[in-house]
Amino acid sequence: MAIGQRLEIRQGQALVMTPQLQQAIKLLQLSNLELQSYVEDELERNPLLEREAPGGGREDERDAAPVAAETPVERLDQALEHGVAAETALDNGFENVYADESRADAAERGDPDAGGGAVDWSRAGAGGGFDGEAADLEALLTRETTLRDHLAEQVQTAFADPVQKLIAGWLVDLVDDAGYIPTDLGQAAERLGVADAEIEAVLAKMQSFEPSGVCARSLAECLAIQLKEKDRYDPAMQAVIANLEMLARRDLVGLMRVSGCDAEDLAGMITEIRALNPKPGLAYATGEDSPAIVPDVFVRETAQGGWAVELNTDTLPRVLVNNRYAARLTAGPKGKEAKAYVTECMMSANWLVKSLDQRARTILKVATEIVRQQDAFFAHGVRHLRPLILKNVAEAISMHESTVSRVTSNKYISSPRGVFELKYFFTSAIQSSEGGDAHSAESVRHRIRDLIDQERAHQVLSDDRIVEILKEGGIEIARRTVAKYREAMRIPSSVERRRQKLAAA
């Protein structure tokens, strides 16, 4: 066969993900906090986007009289006319807007330096001094001490050798919020170029820091440090600490055997151990405040007995496209690069506004369908949670399963029964032993927990007995499934539960 070149024309279909489509898909799976951050970045990047004021209208509309000084918009116009890059013009324009506002505010207060120059800090207070409440610098600079800050202060006073101080500073960065340090410190020794023995020596000294028990590598070591400081780490206590897993199982007979003490002494040692702090670092601030969950959707009961679903408008960013400013930029002779930049900003701004609107509509549509299919849960509780999969919702609202999956990620719904993630309502089905409707896996887990909570010390239910009780209630379930659900809920076995209940009695 001869080898040669030739031209062929083929016709075919292919799905192409445009940047705009990728942006719309990305917005769907963002949480409300991530969406706020994304929109803030777009507002800084795109000069044609503006934040809508809470009461409607544009955020930058003011009642004050216009000032004679150039505004950032006018400086941008001039820069575009002279062919300067738009990004540089924006940076220069918005960089000086704060100085313009500061001078305007100073002029309203009657400051003589309103025209410019250095700031006169002697006028920082409301009365010209630092006696006013607004000038309480100590209150402004005060912040909660974190665990790492507290440890770093002790490092400075505990170590004089620069090498040991460097090692200690490295170890402080490894301490987690609970006050523990990783078990394997081999990487630290290799990274710092020192011997393991030197690392151990520095760590041993740091374990005497406050709070007691900090810088431990395990729970047993944390408790041992605290007991040593109280001079209560005798051989019997050491044996109990070395066998904490037996203490967790309530194997009191085994603990008496390994510690060599009687029941009364063991009870006293257990009381001392319970008084210790297993996570000493939590007494200090972590430096990172956990954000509170803000629901994306509200569900409330109507007077007619149904359910009303509405979006939380406080979590929806409101942005507008400044068409008037765009028209000013495109009017008149402009450079080719400037016109291309303005066109790109205009297309990006319009698409973002449409994508945000479509995202809100999609979330509301999916949430409404979930509430419709899980109405029994909202009315009667978790026992009535129905089996539900993404396909059920997708087919009901004529969307793809992947779209529903993205919408339900990191989205929360607030109802009279509490705040739940949208994915909470998607559970697998467990068949009914009587041929009726299937049961939700979450509702079955709830029934298993209820049965175990109602146990008595001498009537602890085994997994086989729980299977029989559920089967009598119309739930067909295997024993291994009951054990899996029980372990997922961190419920011990029937033997361990019997020991706990007898010890508590």
Residue holding tokens 């505990």?
158
Region of residue 381 (phi > 0: left; psi between -120 and 50: alpha; otherwise: beta) = left
Residue 380 pLDDT grade (very low, low, confident, very high; cuts 50, 70, 90):
confident
Q: Is 223 exposed, middle or buried (0-12, 13-18, 19+ CB in 10 A)?
A: buried
Query: Of 283, 309, 328, which residue is a domain's last?
Result: 283
Q: Would you state the pLDDT for residue 223?
A: 92
Q: Would you state the pLDDT for residue 59?
A: 54
Decide if 500 is inside a domain.
yes
Decide if 289 is inside a domain.
no
pLDDT beyond 70 at 130: no
Decide if 263 is inside a domain.
yes
Q: What are phi and psi of 205, to 5 degrees?
A: -70, -35
pLDDT in tens, 310-345: 999 888 888 888 888 888 877 766 778 888 888 888
Decide if 350 is inside a domain.
no
Q: Would you state the pLDDT for residue 128?
A: 35
User: CA 370, CA 386: separation in Å to the nearest integer?
Assistant: 11
pLDDT in tens, 173-198: 888 888 898 877 766 777 677 788 88
Tokens representing 151 are 């440890």
**Cα atoms in the Cβ-side hemisphere of radius 13 Å centred on 63:** 0
Residue 1 pLDDT grade (very low, low, confident, very high; cuts 50, 70, 90):
low
Q: Which residues pair with 430 in a beta bridge?
A: 439
User: CA 358, CA 78: separation in Å to the nearest integer?
Assistant: 37
Q: Would you state the pLDDT for residue 449?
A: 87
Q: Would you state the pLDDT for residue 372?
A: 93
Strand order of the sheet with strand 307-311?
A: 307-311, 297-301, 412-415, 418-421
Residue 443 pLDDT grade (very low, low, confident, very high; cuts 50, 70, 90):
confident
192: containing domain: 147-283
Q: In this structure, what CATH number is given to the domain that contains residue 459?
A: 1.10.10.60
Contacts of 76 (CB under 8 A, 6+ apart): 47, 86, 89, 90, 93, 329
pLDDT in tens, 134-158: 444 444 445 567 888 889 889 988 8
Question: Which of 325-351 are b and which e, b meaning 16 or more Cβ less than 10 Å from the residue's Cβ?
Answer: bbeebeeeebeeebeebbeebbebbbb
Decide if 156 is inside a domain.
yes
Q: How large is the average pLDDT for residues 30-48?
A: 89
Q: Would you state the pLDDT for residue 379?
A: 87
Measured CA distances, 154 to 148, 166, 209, 244, 368 (Å):
10, 13, 7, 31, 56
Tokens representing 183 are 């078990």
pLDDT over 70 for what percent of the chain? 75
Decide if 397 is inside a domain.
no
Decide if 175 is inside a domain.
yes
Q: Would you state the pLDDT for residue 360?
A: 92
pTM of the model: 0.54
pLDDT in tens, 292-319: 788 999 999 998 888 999 999 888 888 8
User: CA 14, CA 188: separation in Å to the nearest integer?
Assistant: 52
Q: What are phi and psi of 238, to 5 degrees?
A: -60, -40
Q: How large is the average pLDDT for residues 354-372?
A: 93
Q: Is 369 exposed, middle or buried (0-12, 13-18, 19+ CB in 10 A)?
A: buried
Helix (H), strand (E) at residue 192: helix 186-192
Q: How large is the average pLDDT for residues 234-250?
A: 87
Residue 253 pLDDT grade (very low, low, confident, very high; cuts 50, 70, 90):
confident
Query: Of 283, 305, 321, which residue is a domain's last?
Result: 283
> Are 462 and 421 in contact, with CB atoms under 8 Å apart?
no
Four-point Cα dihedral 119, 122, 123, 128, nearest 10: 180
Q: Which residues pair with 52 in a beta bridge?
A: 58
Residue 505 pLDDT grade (very low, low, confident, very high; cuts 50, 70, 90):
low
> Are 479 and 486 in contact, with CB atoms under 8 Å apart?
no
Decide if 182 is inside a domain.
yes
User: CA 311, CA 313: separation in Å to the nearest integer?
Assistant: 6
Residue holding tokens 């590598």?
217
Least confident of 96-105, 263-272, 427-436, 445-454: 96-105
Q: Would you state the pLDDT for residue 195?
A: 81
Task: Identify the residue with better confidence: 78 or 162.
Answer: 162
Query: Of 226, 257, 283, which residue is a domain's last?
Result: 283
Domain count within the chain: 2
Pairing of strands 412-415, 297-301: parallel
Residue 103 pLDDT grade (very low, low, confident, very high; cuts 50, 70, 90):
very low
